[in-house]
Amino acid sequence: MKKVCPQGLPKLPGVYLFKNAQDEIIYIGKAKNLSNRVRSYFTNYKTDWKITSLIDEHETIAHVVTATEHDALVLEASLIGQYQPKYNSLLKEGQPFVYIVYADGPMPTLSIVRNKKAKGTYFGPFIHKVSARKAIKFLMDTFQLFICNKKIANGCLYFHIGKCAGSCRADFDTSAYTLRAQLALNALKNDRKAFVQGIKDDIAQCNKELKFERARNMLQYLESIDAIFDTLNRHLSYATYASAVARALTPRTYGPTIDSPEELAQELQQLIGTHYPIRTIDCFDISHFQSKSMVGSSIRFVDGKPDKKQFRRFLIKTLSKQNDYAALQEIVKRRYKNKSDIPDLVLIDGGIGQLNAAHASMPDAPMASLAKREERVHTLSNPEGVVLDRHSLAGQTLIALRDYTHHFAITYHRFKQKQF
């Protein structure tokens, strides 16, 4: 079948992703103008063997719009390093980008590295060292984190001009340095809440201990919070595309062709046992690796089709250890702060345990769960569950929705892991 250039791509900077029939990414590129760049592949079809093979093998093209061409460059490098597409060669070998690493310890430090070998919290990637250097310099200057190797009673020259942390002095305040390093880490994480709370706690403690000068210095950080976060975010703009990347990497086609939404809604009503036809369904899933980087996702289907405006992804905020039940409770409650947005059915990826946990956080929402092993649907009125008919519209739709949600969560989780 002849492949044609997709219509409607924006004339904006961004990243484009060629995918094959199995929804595998086979090529990733960047563009100053997405529409023109993608069209050029089809214009040059048969003129270059790589382009010919790429066009013949591809099935769909996804894209992510970025704010600038530079952002597209950074995002392209990150995604190529993560997914290693078969048709990319320039950025597949070696390590073309760098990271900022925060190394914890008695004296936490910030540095630039090319590989994630040492222990620490990583930020990036940066395709150019200059972005990482600007971010580090800004943090080192703002929070006075430079450590010198001198020992001078009154402090070195850099200490007196406000650059050195003062490790050269005999009365060096390690606790104050550690606090400032933690503030820098919170700024890198874009965690304003932790940043503000850390300052307020230290000010309160300083006032108790009559350390008024230190309290005054901490207050300056609080008063400059907008400038600090705005400046740093200009250097760390890659984080703003996490959701868009997750959407672009999610397969476009899932589930059966729905010729009769009414028939599907009635099948779902009969299967779940509601008093009304089911047309809108939200599905929830949790993803993590060894209890790290826990994230969740919520996908909505309307009449058997994805409603991407209602897709949601969540960083788990209240847990430091793996607890899928508690994580589900958190994201379900956060998703339905607006009770008017509750769908006809909330589907949980899991068994009766996951269903009970989610229902406890939102008892007014109609719920069911779908266990993978037997494709068994559990409801509160039928905890034993019923095995889906994979050939029915309802069965195919629920399985497709569950798989879509799982893929969306996994994609977001992988993207977040690459950042830190």
Residue 390 has pLDDT above 90, yes or no: no
Pairing of strands 280-289, 345-349: parallel
Pairwise CA distance, residues 304 & 257, whole Å: 8
Q: Mean pLDDT, to the nearest integer, of 84-113?
A: 77
- What pTM was computed for the model? 0.48
pLDDT in tens, 109-145: 888 887 777 788 887 767 667 777 878 888 888 888 8
Pairwise CA distance, residues 372 & 250, whole Å: 20
pLDDT in tens, 17-33: 999 877 889 999 999 99
Sheet holding 98-103, edge to edge: 109-113, 98-103, 121-126
Q: What's the mean per-residue pLDDT of the chain?
A: 82
Enumerate the β-bridge partners of residue 103: 109
pLDDT for the residue 343: 96
Q: Angle at the Cα of 231 (from 228 to 232), degrees rounded to 5?
A: 85
pLDDT for the residue 35: 92
pLDDT in tens, 221-279: 777 777 777 777 666 655 556 666 766 766 655 566 667 889 999 999 999 999 999 99
Going by pLDDT thresholds of 50, 70 and 90, the confidence category of residue 90 is: low
Side chain identity, residue 249: L
Residue 154 has pLDDT above 90, yes or no: no
Share of the chain above pLDDT 90, in %: 24
250-419: CATH number: 3.30.420.340
CATH number (3.90.1150.10, 2.40.50.1070, 3.40.1440.10, 3.30.56.10) of 14-83 reads 3.40.1440.10
Residue 416 has pLDDT above 70, yes or no: no
Highest mean pLDDT among 162-176, 308-322, 380-394: 380-394
Q: Is 195:183 a contact under the CB 8 Å cutoff?
A: yes
User: In which residue ranges of the chain is CATH 3.40.1440.10 found?
Assistant: 14-83
Residue 196: alpha-carbon gap to chain centroid: 23
Q: Angle at the Cα of 148 (from 145 to 152), degrees rounded to 5?
A: 120
User: In which residue ranges of the chain is CATH 3.30.420.340 found?
Assistant: 250-419
> What is the DSSP-derived secondary structure letter of residue 146?
B
Pairwise CA distance, residues 157 & 163, whole Å: 9
Residue 31: alpha-carbon gap to chain centroid: 22
Give, in order, the Cα–Cα distances in Å from 185 to each of 31, 103, 227, 258, 295.
32, 10, 16, 49, 20
pLDDT for the residue 413: 64
Going by pLDDT thresholds of 50, 70 and 90, the confidence category of residue 177 is: confident
Task: Give the residue, 165 or 308, on which the prediction is more confident.
Answer: 308
Q: Mean pLDDT, to the nearest integer, of 42-62?
A: 86
pLDDT in tens, 277-333: 999 999 999 886 555 567 888 999 999 888 888 999 888 877 767 788 999 999 999
Pairwise CA distance, residues 180 & 129, whole Å: 24
pLDDT for the residue 420: 45
